[in-house]
Structure 1
């Protein structure tokens, strides 16, 4: 575990709010010089505290108006079924997130679709036909706050 001081935590808050900021701007916000902020950011990256910076795309601007979270329970087929499922599910472009979880379901998926009709097509033709799929529960996203 990495020990973080008050400045490190401030840097993380600033970068979580806007990962595109450069070291000079981060330093200005947290009260450090550009070189000091740069060194701290690089150390946090080297220690794995900062794993990367992400681009957030608005799927509605790309024509995807529906987001659905799926709980997927696999049928009991052993380890080979799990590996086949994982390999197949990550190949579906509309599946934006695959999480292996502990609980009622084995996997949680985030799926985007143009509309509900498109989602039904994705569900029936692509997800329900995946290897080892058992039960599926769908939750349609109504709103989201960042």
Structure 2
């Protein structure tokens, strides 16, 4: 469990992982070396798992976004679902969920036909009984931050 100061550091990094330790220190009221020690500890404990870049999928030509609900055959483990979906570069995220569906998958594709091909391939996986999909018309909000807002 993170304390409030660690949450503020994580939030600052989530907003911009390229921020300097000095900049983060000004935000949270610590020196740059103190921030570095805390970030190193957060990495060592697994609270921070890495640093990455966020890319607009449309900039890569992936202009169609949709969600696929997956309804699995009996006795399908989450690990089997994960293994089945890992090979699809179009899958941005996948989670098991409550409710009728067993999992929900976020997919990015270049166009409607590409999305349809991905949907057909996923529907054909041995563990899938049926699917239900929805397409995103306009993303209203995306948050990439972590921790409590400052």
TM-score normalised to structure 2 length: 0.82
Structure 1 equivalent of residue 122 of structure 2? 127
| Number of aligned residue pairs | 141
Structure 2 equivalent of residue 13 of structure 1? 11
**Structure 1: distance between partners of 2:80 and 2:12:** 40
User: What is the RMSD of the two structures over their aligned residues, measured on CA atoms?
Assistant: 2.0
Unaligned runs of 5+ in 1: none
Instruction: Compare relative contact order (CA 8 Å, sep 6+) and give the higher one, 1 or 2.
Output: 2
**Structure 2: distance between partners of 1:64 and 1:53:** 23
* Paired residues of 1:63 and 1:114 also in contact (CA < 8 A): yes
**Structure 1: distance between partners of 2:33 and 2:22:** 8
| Cα pair distance change 1:98/1:27, threshold 3 Å | same
Unaligned runs of 5+ in 2: 143-150
* Paired residues of 1:98 and 1:107 also in contact (CA < 8 A): yes
| Cα pair distance change 1:141/1:30, threshold 3 Å | same
TM-score normalised to structure 1 length: 0.84
Q: Pick from 129, 136, 142 the counterpart of residue 141 of structure 1.
A: 136
Runs of 4+ in 1 over 3 A off after TM superposition: 81-86
